[in-house]
A = this chain, B = another copy of it.
Amino acid sequence: MKETDAPILAPEQQLCFAVYAAGQAFARLYRPLLEPLGLTYPQYLAMLVLWEGEPISVTGIGQRLGLDTGTLTPLLKRLEAAGLVRRTRSAEDERRVVVTLTDRGRALKERARTIPDAVACASGRDIDGVVALRDELKALARALDTSESAL
């Protein structure tokens, strides 16, 4: 088994690098699709959450996307500067910043509707294939996160 030690360290052989490279490939694919909407990919993710339902707090968005405030606060400020969202402190609990869509932000949803289909098409998989791989990755992420404590 000695002689198989070295190749295991090659990036191309590792699952983590395959995930990393697939993420880069998605980023390259999304960039030209989102550029006409004036959104980056993480901004698009935040808009997806807002299109699902608002108002929602910064923490609420962070829980859906797995992002912390250090990432979301400047991201949401840029979306606010672009006129897509509003950030207002909650009256009941003044620690909360509640994010709502503007009319322009709501209208952008229509222009984004064609994106998931274009991406699914680019993946070269049918719906079942996309769903199967998606669920495998969800299970992987869950396994990685739950094992953290065991190390």
Contact = CB atoms under 8 A, between A and B. Distances in A.
Interface of A: 5-6, 8-26, 28-30, 32-33, 45, 48-49, 51-52, 64-66, 109, 112-113, 116, 118-125, 130, 133-138, 140-141, 143-145, 147-148, 150-151
A44 to B, nearest CB: 9
Contacts of A52: 6, 9-10
Specify the main secondary structure of chain A where it touches its partner: helix
A42 to B, nearest CB: 9
Given A16-B30, A124-B143, 18 more contacts: A9-B112, A9-B113, A15-B134, A16-B119, A17-B45, A19-B23, A20-B26, A21-B138, A22-B137, A22-B138, A22-B140, A22-B144, A24-B141, A28-B145, A29-B144, A32-B148, A118-B151, A133-B140
